[in-house]
Structure 1
Amino acid sequence: MSVTQSTASDIDIDLGKLFSSLARNWLRILVVALAIAGLVFVMAWMATPHYKAETRLLIETRESVFTRPDATGDNQPILDEEGVTSQVEVISSTDILKRVARQLNLSKLPEFDSAANLSLPARLLVIAGLKSDPTEVPPDERVLKAFREKLTVYRVERSRVIVIEFSSEDPKLAAAVPNAIADAYLAVSRDAKLASNSDATEWLEPEIADLSKRVKEAEARVADFRAKSDLLIGQNNSVLATQQLSELSTELSRVRAGRAASEANAQSMRRALEKGGSLDALPEVMSSPLIQRLRERQVQLKSDIADLSTTLLENHPRIRALKSQLTDLDAQMVVEARNILKGIVTEVQTAMLRETQLTADLNQLKAASARAGEQEVELRALERDAASQRQLLESYMTRYREAASRQDRNYLPVDARVFSRAIAPSEPYFPKIVPMVGAAFIGSLLIMAVITLLQELFSGRAMRAAPGARFEPVEQVKMPVVNAQADDDSDAPAPVAPDGESVGPDWITDEIGIVRAAEKLIAEGTMRAVFVSPQGDEAAAAAVMVAREVSDAGLRVLLLDLTTGGAASQPMLDSVRFPGITNLLATGAQFNNVIHGDLYSDCHVIPIGTDDPEQAMRAADRLPIILESLTTAYDLVVIECGIIDANGIRRLVGENTEIFVSVLEPGNQVTATAEDLKAGGYQGFIMVTPAGYDAPDFPRPSRNVA
């Protein structure tokens, strides 16, 4: 069979001819554009104009600082983003819309009740059952549906402003509806506040009565407990028992200190008297009035004796009388000192008795104070309960008075105000004749231009032959015939190889060259070409030459080298030390790391790689997935397998795959490979030889390198 084939670059688009079609058909394009623009103009002129108006609300606290009940209470309005959004839903609620519809009598307007004036085609569709009968829907629902279609309520972003937009065929109605909705919203909000205030007043009345009773009972319990417990309050608001305990402790400390001082004085006097020491160093003795008089008399006698001693002798009766008086004074002083000592001892004994009595009284007061403390704790608990009840009662009474006064004075400001009312628009927002006609004209021009270009392109008039394109007849390539004696009854002798060895009677084939193999791949649109080289690395050159030839024809080609020593990729890269398929299988590299550019063509190549082949072969199951990915990215994937059997290429064969056997010269290796492929089910393989094909000798730097 003969087929005429061209490569992907055999034909090209002549842009000059393509766009010259616009100049040839400019009149048709212009007429169609003007016709469409005229039609849009007529439709816009005949369309019913619609007017739009808007009313703007500001959500804010209207309560005055002088009348605000409680700046920290829960009755403050919610002015956050969620609160404003909730008000948008309230404004567009069914209750408000129904109220406005009844107020403006919208059900009487044909604009809001399409069922009232059904056109003849619509009635026919209803009769035929192709359209639902709008009269089956209640009038209120029909009006409400039309109302919602014309109404738009939204919140201005990052603000507390709510916009109410409404469109209508009547400009006055377009302004009246949003204003009526705003007024209805304010009225509903005011009624809601009034109802809330009334509910609060009604709830507070019984609560206040109940709290008053509970406060009275709590205070009565406090007074009764105080009377029964006999908790007397002294100075500084302290319990009397506690205060007495403190005073008695102070008195006991004072008595103990006085007793200790008296005991010390008595001990000192006793020592002085026993040892006959001077009594002048004892302050208690010297402070006695009698001792002081005796001391004065003693001083006087000593003075007289001294005066008389100047004129009289010591044995003079007068001097002896004075000395006798002086001796009597000393004895009197000792007697007085002993009396003072007895008084001090008596004071010590009295202090000890006083101390014993105070200690007993102190112990009694301790027990009484402990009991008083327990009673005081219970009393304070009762007082706290009464105080909390009283505080709650006062709070409720304050709120009740505020709510009652607001209800009586009707002072319940709504937390919103209208700061921009809608006015009747003078110009319709639809239809805008000039923009619509302009857009229709420009759009129709573009569409007609695209249609004209597509017609020119599909007709083939804008196509031209690509430079250097070849159009040759490609004849049917003869396939190898293996074990064909069942179909061939001739007695012709079996072919003999040049080396004298018989190649077997079952091997009959015609070899094709590199160019014919490349043309066959291009003509059939083959996606994958598997090359088997039974005669070693030198035969792998056929795969390289075919890949380069197809790449030179303009197709995207990749050669995958699966030979043991990299025989296919080495002449393309001048080295084998590049990451390749083994690195990809061992997950040591990615596609962009293992794909390299051929130095002599536009072909890409994946070499054998630098990773361990044994480790890579453990992941051989990933090879079909890799080939599928490469087939998607390239027009043709050429796989050089080297010496391999039919079982070894099963992972490589996929959809639209061609198998080639590279032949340097006929021989037993080729015969064995052909028999093995035929036995494995691959009967359509092709013999290809690189003989007569001149490979490039120098790199071509102008080529694209991956």
Structure 2
Amino acid sequence: MNQISHLRRPPGEFPTKPSVSAPPDGPAPLRPSDLLKLLRRRHRSLIRIPLILMFGTGLLVTGATPRYVAYSQMLLGEQGLSARNSFDLVEQQSLTSSVIEGELAVLRSNALLRRVAETLQLETVPEFNPEAIPEDEQGSVLSDIAERVKSLLPSFGGGGEADLPDDAPSRVAVAAGAGAQQLGTYKDIVGKLRQAIRVNQQGTSYVVQVSAVSEDPDLAAAITNTLMDEYMGFLTDKRFNAAQEFTAWLETRVADLAVTLERSERDVFDYRARMEADADNRTRLEQQMTELTTRLIDRRAELAQVEAMYDKMGSTIETGGPLAAQDMSSSEAMLDYRQQLSELIQREAFAVGSFGEQSAQVASIRRSIDVIEASIELEVRRELDRLQNQREVLRVVVSSLNSQLNELSRQMLDQSSEEIQLNQLQRVAEANSVVYQEFLARFKEVSEIQNLQTPDADIISYANPPSAPVYPRKKLSVIMAGVGGFFIAFAYVLLTEMLPKKLSTPEALARATGIGVYGRMRDLGAQMTLHELARELNRDPEGKLSQIALRLANNADMRAGGAARTILVASDTARDDKVHVAMLLAWAQSRKGRSCVVVDADTRTANLSGLLEYRRPAGNLASTLYGDTEIGQAITGLPRFGASFVPCEEMASDPSVVFDTERFRQILQTLSRQFDTVILDLPPAQDFTDAFTSLEEMDIELFVVRAGTLTGGELHEPLEVARNANARNLGLVLTNDATA
């Protein structure tokens, strides 16, 4: 065997290494001339993409259902919109933001929308009720699919609903379903109607704009106009009903006061005839009685008003509950609760329109509404208790004043009991007369309001059927699609041109690295074992895979200027492709009649030793490096490949520490004397760094690159590391090449 000494280079003579040009730091700046060339070269993409988008947009807008929007406006009034109590029905109120928001919430309310649906009979309109679509117009395919799905649903229920106990619904379920019970069969229709309408305040003015969207322009205008008419009717009914209830209560009170006043005046007339003059104490007693009577009148008037409010509030609570009596309380807390409730109702309407009836936002808002309503109920109870306490106090005061008057009367009776009785009756008659006149005036005012029956809003303009749809705008959509498609195509062309490309062909690999490609091979697959590889090579020595192996070995020999004695096989990372290339070279060398040994020099993973099937020798490369065995004890045979093999085991040391030793040089010299070709399976490039810089010069280093995995920039650093292996010739092997 030849010695490795012939491979030593003379002093002062250095091998010629292939240069690997460093990739630029970033993409080269695109000059206007380059941009024009690029546009001319990729003009088909610049035309094709906009045309495809325009064609697709045209198909979409042609098949889209047109949508029409109708607009109308109304002016909210200055009074009667949100009465706080019964007396507010005849008192003017100014519009505030909270009042306006409350009216907007009324326009969006379920009750009003149901009245619109009933008036327009929307249950017969297919747009709002899919069941109204004629059977001959329904899609047969979709119907069949729906029926099949429905037929499958019971099988997932584990026996259906027939096995469930027929229990009465809980109170929670009944309360939760109150909204559905209110809408009845119009639940889904009202939900779609709410999505179709928009109610907005115009800036900070009192003008409210109502709009509706529909597939039918006439229906859009009809929904808008009907909603305004129903709202006007709602205001009229609300004002009329409130005034009617208050009038009935006032009428009863006035009748009772009239009877009381008539009785007191009759008593005064009966006693007047028996009145006698008194000289001494009468003036003083009369002054005291005058003061007490005045106080009594005030307290009785106050008591009558408190009793009236207490009776009205109690009656309202009995008939409609505490929430119905909230308008009778004018406390600051009640005003604050009423404002919060109005804001929550607005937020609820907005959340239902935005997120749906069953959304978490709607549930949260409704819980807040329940809390506010509970607070209002508590405040109403407190107001009722306050009125009751005030009534009892006034009764005590009135009783005390009556007692004092009785005492004065008793004193005056000593002088003239008839006159004192007459004066007392006169004061009572006057007090009854004042109360009667006040309630009578209030009764007349409310009766006039009840007879008017006018809403507190005016319709500025009704909606007309729109002449053109707002969606889709076909011409604008196609034009925008064309413009957007051009910009997308332009961005696509620039992006594909500027992005780094994965190296997938031998030509691209050689052009990017400046290094020749010695061979290429197809993907052998991760499932192919080395035993199967040897069997395929030996089964068909003239086959395609065998020719690839021989061609790679011949190219290596040709570049080495003869028979390559030492061949390094490396790659960027630990790949099976590197192992396949090493074993293909070993098989090819044996086919050419040379003795060959493959050394697993991958001390990081010992991948080749783990994949090969061989008779385990007494030692391995690691034990030989440590001096535990000789190299001859680490050599074993690979009959299937016709070569020898030196296995290895994983070593914790860095490869540069292991191979940059005199011991490894001696091992390599021994193998070179014993075999014609020595093939070293190296660690991955990122691991062995400068491990081979101090070795004797090698004939060939083959760097294995897998197609489609690396760009030129990513390959630069591994190749620079590979060049440090001090080989005379550096070549590339492309694997996973579909054309190989």
TM-score strictly above 0.5: no
User: Scaled by the length of structure 2, what TM-score is found?
Assistant: 0.39
Question: Which of the two has greater helix per residue?
Answer: 2
Larger gyration radius, structure 1 or structure 2: 1
User: Scaled by the length of structure 1, what TM-score is found?
Assistant: 0.40
